[in-house]
Structure 1
Amino acid sequence: MFKKAFLLLTAFCLIFNLVDAQTTRLVNPILAGFYPDPSIIKVGKDYYLVNSTFAYFPGIPIFHSTDLKNWKQIGNVIDRPSQMNFMGDRVTRGLFAPAINYHNGTFYITCTQIDHKGNFVVTAKNPAGPWSDPAFLPSVRGIDPSLFFDKDKAYVVYNGDAPDYKPLYSGHRTIRMNEFDPVKLTASAENQILVNGGVDISKKPVWIEGPHIMKVGNWYYLYAAEGGTSVNHSEVVLRSKSATGPFVPYENNPILTQRGLPADRKDPVTSAGHADFVEGPDGKWYAIFLAVRPYEDDYYNTGRETFIAPVTWKDEWPVINADVKEIQYSYATNIKENKTPGLQPQSGNFKYSVALNKPLDYSFLFLRTSDPSWYSIGKDGLTMKLKSETCAGTGNPAFIAKRQQHLNCSFDTELSFDTDKAYEKAGLVIFQNEEHYYYICKSVDEKQRPVVQLYKSGKAGETELLTEQPLTANAQGKLQLRIRSNGAFYAFDYATTAGKWTTLKDNVDGKFLSTHTAGGFVGCVFALYATSNGKETTSTAKFTRVDYAGNDSVYR
């Protein structure tokens, strides 16, 4: 009798523990919105993740987690203009593909400053910063560098030119390796080719990039993206008994891709690749990677986002998302969730409100550099001086942004701004790049009557006035402005009385802001924006808060 009761109790405990352990679902994307080119490292029980930011400043956000689900941004790697700035760069240039590593008490991040000095490394003892000034690596000629530490040796591995600078076809690249000195932060002058073209050069593979090396058991695994960062994107893997090769490709490559799936599948995820592997807190392996959520065909405005999927080991090869072809919007795990009270979610549906009477948090973005001379924060809000620069140029306009993180969302603010000059404007912009944005703003018309206006960007800094409405006398104080996204369409609203919204214009073409139309590598951001359009002025605009709410059907 006792034995039977004991066995029943044991079985109950096992079942209870299993159910209790499987309470964490990893929801994709784990970082919603414009968080491309992810790289991850595990140090003890802590995980640190970084992403590309291109010409936005501060550069390279760094996130921390203990459960791979709940992520907190703890800083930015490039957070001082003295480290570097991106003045003169188009928004889709700047910083490409950072990689994070840890060795002997030091964190290392390698990255590419495209079009300028190229590849560099920065270090820190604390991942929250401060990070060192960049040490550039002139002998590492290419993009997407990452480090690998192997006993008493260290290497930098990266995407390089075709052999002898003679590509056999468009997109022909190599994966190369240089020895790296982790103390002097220098790379050897000599390099060797680890991969030529891709896993099978006879098939003319393109854009082998984003490489990493890891050692698991007795094997060294070299894994990289292949196929370009659009719908043909993929991840491939090779292995060797030596860190320097020769590397043999997996016969069932790619180990991750979404190409070839039915285009009409429900809630598709596409363009998956640029992966990094990590062992989870449950002892299982996971891959983080970039992918996108289109609302139609290849149209998406939220940019390339950070996703996660489980890794299955098959005959000592890692395969991502092995059980189903389609990337899932959530995965059940045995991970114990560690949720911090008050932590802003980065996945699923969420909303937030930020009072602009305190220092801006790490997620706010500027264009190309940070210059506190044109804005200040007081107890009643954020005051921005109108600058002559516009967001159509390549300077540092009065522009402070947050990412669009859902297909269906709204972003609003409260504005105090008065002017008698038609060239002075302040409001909200939904911005993809210098030639693809919409701007809802307060200004005056040609007769100096206050109006709310909606502009659409054009070529070479030109803008088109889509519509305007006069504002009544009670709008001389605070005005609320709101932008709503509904996949392929945007709507623009205003309110002269708090909460009583009037639609200025709806069903505005959202595809104009898509990566498919605009090109480049970034995603849309909502920005507080004030400009005097090339003229000098002393005028200011005050913003008291920003509110965001995202509500995508796949999470309901």
Structure 2
Amino acid sequence: MRALKVTAAALMAFAATPVAAGPVATFSDIEYRAQGPAPTNPGMYRNPILPGFHPDPSTVRVGDDFYLVTSTFGWFPGIPVFHSRDLVNWELIGHAIDRPGMLDLSKMRAVADGVYAPAITWHDGTFYIFNTCVRCGGNFYVTAKDPAGPWSDPVWVEFDGIDPSLFFDDDGNVWVINNDLPEGGETYSGHRALWVQQIDLAKGRMFGPRTMVVNGGVDPSTKPVWAEGPHIFKKDGWYYINDAEGGTAENHSQTIWRSRNVTGPYVPGPNNPTLTQRDLPADRADRVEATGHADLFELADGSWWTTFLATRPFAGQSTLLGRETYLLPVTWKDGWPTILPPGAPVPLEAKRPGLPAGKPVDWRAWREDFRGARLSPEWIQLRNPADEQWYVLDRERGALQVVAGTDAASTLAKPHFLGRRMRDPVAQWTARVAFAPEAQGDLAGLMAFASEEHFLVAGIEGDKGGGYLAVRYRNGNEDPANGALVARADLPTNVESVELKLAIDRGTALVQWRPASQSAWRALASDIDVERMASIHTGLFTGVTVGPYAYAAH
């Protein structure tokens, strides 16, 4: 292959900070196309409203505007902030964690550690996001006057447990509700409780008695597990606790409790669970699973709605997309809310809220030509950014220059990888790639990343005689650092760059290629079983991201 060789030194003309050393891969014209359903009819909307890896949604209404945040775990930037005026079309306006020094993600044991379950609230002109950073500091909150940012540095608050959420009471007191072990410890695996305590936001500390308000779940005789993701809201003089139960897989559910006092005692509702799919037939059409972690909110017209997470498995509980964000109306009867009655499946198409329609957002297609002033905020990377600049946006040529890094995607370090979320079960990516390997094992191309143990790479790999096309798949710690070789093909000597096509159909992948100057695609690998990249095998929490990856063996 006669590849166009770009050196790290040459990139200094573009970079504002020192550039890492190593061979450089050039990526251009990255496109995503999905075979998702067509847009809905007027007056209807389609679930999920945020497809792809967008779990643990929390939503707040401020006047006519809605803001939504989701978990990001080990990805940076973290905690995407979305804005909408119709609850259906959402625009990514920023990230609450967007500066490298805000969180230290270097001690995580996997990409599934990190930023858990952010809860967004607004009070007296200030936005608050309370959050847990697992193996990276504990519980903290950030604040902003503008939800697009900038957000404050984290204010760390010392208390045990996870999933904190703020509640501003009418009397001026501010409370935190969160998940923790029950008083005296758990009596069975997964036994958790919900606790409330006051917080002084000016000092960033908890104070006063800490009260356990839920122990286990609705029916203690069944040994309910993982009471989590709680929120408190107030309606008609009642304090309501809205929380998830059952674990974030097939037994996930949502429950409701109420009391006349914020510290209880709380009584479970007569219609619990207010949302679940665990009792529905496994062979039903358009199957949605793992529903829960809901946030309820009221519209200006008095109607109630909820955002929640769910999955779209293609077999069993397997999905490469991770947990996604859904929207449904909430009905009230005799002072109790219900999201879906027992036995009702989550609709993939439903009647829109009574709000003016916003600008349509179509997640099924995008193209990155690298000619904008900056990369799309949809691009994310693993853990904290490296100290040295390892990618440069070359707007004049319409290219992204990526310096190959010495950390493989299987490590807990800083692989040189930028990804965007896979949003549909059937999708394909194309990209033009130029790369001149300098050593055996150098590798650059498109990577579909699920976890450090499960990913697929299609690209150009270095050999003693130069370079060749390669597909590698990592399916566990026993595989090589960049995965086992699935397929390889020689490169013509007169080819300067190639186009790659990666297509995923639920649990199967194929890779094609062609010289950049030609139109006919050539097979490289087909029928690759990537079911093990499903979130059920990778820690449940995250989904697949796809994008440029460059690795230097030495």
The reply to whether TM is greater than 0.5 is yes
Tell me, yes or no, if structure 1 residue 61 matches structure 2 residue 80.
Answer: yes
Equivalent position to 1:401, from 407, 419, 431: 419
Equivalent in the alignment of 1:96: 116
Equivalent in the alignment of 1:431: 449
**C-alpha deviation, 1:322, in angstroms:** 3.6
In 1, the alpha carbon distance for the partners of 2:356 and 2:342 equals 23
**C-alpha deviation, 1:339, in angstroms:** 2.7
* Larger proportion of helix: 1
Q: State the AA in 1 paired with 2:461.
A: S
In 2, the alpha carbon distance for the partners of 1:499 and 1:244 equals 67
Tell me, yes or no, if structure 1 residue 209 matches structure 2 residue 228.
Answer: yes
Equivalent in the alignment of 2:539: 519
Q: Among the aligned pairs, what percent are the same residue?
A: 38
CA contact (8 A) 1:68 1:280 kept: no
CA contact (8 A) 2:407 2:415 kept: yes
Equivalent in the alignment of 2:468: 451
1:95-494 correspondence to structure 2 within 5 Å: 95-138=115-158, 140-151=159-170, 152-164=172-184, 166-188=185-207, 190-280=209-299, 283-322=302-341, 325-340=344-359, 344-346=361-363, 350-358=364-372, 359-371=374-386, 373-379=389-395, 380=397, 381-448=399-466, 450-457=467-474, 458-459=476-477, 462=480, 463-475=483-495, 477-494=496-513
Q: State the AA in 1 paired with 2:394.
A: G
TM-score by length of 2: 0.88
Cα displacement string for residues 435-479 of structure 1 (whole angstroms, at most 9, x for unaligned residues): 10111111233332x31101111416612111100011232x221
Q: Which moved more, 1:226-235 or 1:328-337?
A: 328-337
**C-alpha deviation, 1:117, in angstroms:** 1.9
In 1, the alpha carbon distance for the partners of 2:478 and 2:342 equals 49
Q: How many residues align?
A: 504
In 2, the alpha carbon distance for the partners of 1:208 and 1:321 equals 19
**C-alpha deviation, 1:45, in angstroms:** 0.4
Structure-2 change in CA distance of 1:136 and 1:317 (3 Å):
same
In 2, the alpha carbon distance for the partners of 1:252 and 1:263 equals 23
Cα displacement string for residues 162-206 of structure 1 (whole angstroms, at most 9, x for unaligned residues): 212x21111111000110123333222641101011112222110
CA contact (8 A) 2:274 2:337 kept: yes
Structure 1: runs of 5 or more not aligned: 1-21, 536-556
Equivalent in the alignment of 2:29: none
CA contact (8 A) 1:281 1:335 kept: no
Equivalent position to 2:53, from 6, 11, 34: 34
Equivalent in the alignment of 1:548: none
Cα displacement string for residues 204-228 of structure 1 (whole angstroms, at most 9, x for unaligned residues): 1100000000011121110100000
In 1, the alpha carbon distance for the partners of 2:211 and 2:518 equals 64
In 2, the alpha carbon distance for the partners of 1:324 and 1:292 equals 17
In 2, the alpha carbon distance for the partners of 1:357 and 1:234 equals 45
CA contact (8 A) 1:494 1:501 kept: yes
Structure-2 change in CA distance of 1:61 and 1:499 (3 Å):
farther
Structure-2 change in CA distance of 1:24 and 1:180 (3 Å):
farther
Runs (4+) off by over 6 Å: none
In 1, the alpha carbon distance for the partners of 2:289 and 2:239 equals 29
Equivalent in the alignment of 2:91: 72
CA contact (8 A) 2:85 2:358 kept: no
Cα displacement string for residues 292-325 of structure 1 (whole angstroms, at most 9, x for unaligned residues): 0001111111000001111110111010024971
Q: Which has the higher contact order (CA 8 A, sep 6+)?
A: 2
Q: State the AA in 2 paired with 1:319.
A: T
Structure 2: runs of 5 or more not aligned: 1-40
Which secondary structure state, in structure 2, belongs to the residue aligned with residue 111 of structure 1?
strand
In 2, the alpha carbon distance for the partners of 1:169 and 1:116 equals 27
CA-atom RMSD in angstroms? 1.6
Q: State the AA in 2 paired with 1:163.
A: E
Equivalent position to 2:103, from 79, 84, 87: 84
Q: State the AA in 1 paired with 2:389.
A: S
Cα displacement string for residues 223-250 of structure 1 (whole angstroms, at most 9, x for unaligned residues): 1000000000000000011122111001
Structure-2 change in CA distance of 1:338 and 1:178 (3 Å):
same
In 1, the alpha carbon distance for the partners of 2:148 and 2:48 equals 23
CA contact (8 A) 2:59 2:69 kept: yes
CA contact (8 A) 2:53 2:421 kept: yes
In 2, the alpha carbon distance for the partners of 1:85 and 1:502 equals 44
Equivalent in the alignment of 1:12: none
TM-score by length of 1: 0.88
Which secondary structure state, in structure 1, belongs to the residue aligned with residue 494 of structure 2?
helix
In 1, the alpha carbon distance for the partners of 2:57 and 2:206 equals 23
Equivalent in the alignment of 1:503: 523
